[in-house]
Amino acid sequence: MMEATDKYMESRIFGYARVSTRDQNLDMQLDVLQQQKCIKIFCEKISGIKKRPELERCLSSLKEGDVLVVYKLDRLARSLSEIVRICSELENKKIRIRSVKDNIDTTDYMGKFTMHIFAALAEFERNVIIERTREGREAALKRGKIFGRPKGLSSLAQKKVKQAARLYQQGNSIKHICQQIEIKSKSTLYRYLQLENIQLRAGSKFPSLEKRLCPENRK
């Protein structure tokens, strides 16, 4: 019975190291992880990529009761929300996480408390991003910004949109631009400028336009 208990108490220790954009050398991380008696260390030697095959291999190798050791938590992921997601998944599988430099171990009270704080901060960060995006969108809509792919524009009309924006920003008159890109209606030109989120010159403003494009621009 004692042997079974001791065997259960023994944990396999795995390490994970990842280079950073600033530091492409893993030596310091490896020295620390080797001191933690890792039976295997997974090394990610490429930075700045979304897919991390070594991390995926590492996570798939972990089983209940195992320990994952990293030099710092930011080696696991670039964002706080991603770190929280990975740690939560491991905790649900009863896998410990130990961050040497951060002095975090999820088996003790302080380690769990720290992870709860991180989770709250990640949620706060997400809410701030959502709120800023909403406010930015509302402000852009008030300025005449139109979101999404323009509906009903032919390839020729799409080229004219780019040309109109460029000519207007170069200081050309509305009349001259209409002549240059061969459109008959000033309202169509204003529509083009709105699609490119072009701010009109002082003293000018967009006329009231229908949401639907003029027939001449449709396929």
Q: Given pLDDT bands bounded at 50, 70 and 90, which one contains residue 47?
A: low
State the Cα–Cα distance between residues 142 and 197, nearest whole angstrom: 11
User: In this structure, are 91 and 192 located in the same domain?
Assistant: no
Number of CB atoms found within 10 A of residue 90's CB: 19
State the Cα–Cα distance between residues 100 and 71, nearest whole angstrom: 5
State the Cα–Cα distance between residues 157 and 219, nearest whole angstrom: 9
Query: Known catalytic residues?
Result: 20
Mean pLDDT of the chain: 78
**pLDDT value of position 120:** 81
Chosen domain end from 72, 102, 124: 124
Helices (H), the chain: 2-9, 27-35, 53-61, 80-92, 109-142, 155-169, 174-181, 186-195
Give the domain extent around 49: 2-124
User: In this structure, are 159 and 120 located in the same domain?
Assistant: no
User: 70-97: per-residue pLDDT in tens?
Assistant: 999 888 887 788 888 888 899 899 999 9
Question: Per-residue pLDDT averaged across 128-157, rounded?
Answer: 70
Chosen domain end from 124, 146, 171: 124
pTM of the model: 0.52
Pick from 27, 30, 48: nearest CA to 38 = 30
**pLDDT value of position 17:** 93
User: In this structure, are 72 and 17 located in the same domain?
Assistant: yes
Question: Per-residue pLDDT averaged across 184-210, rounded?
Answer: 71
**pLDDT value of position 215:** 44
Is-contact 14 41, C-beta < 8 A?
Answer: yes
Residue 61 predicted with pLDDT over 90: yes
User: 111-129: per-residue pLDDT in tens?
Assistant: 878 888 887 877 777 677 6
**pLDDT value of position 8:** 35
Residue 59 predicted with pLDDT over 60: yes
User: In this structure, are 6 and 77 located in the same domain?
Assistant: yes
Question: Per-residue pLDDT averaged across 52-80, rounded?
Answer: 90
**pLDDT value of position 14:** 96
> How many folded domains does the chain comprise?
2
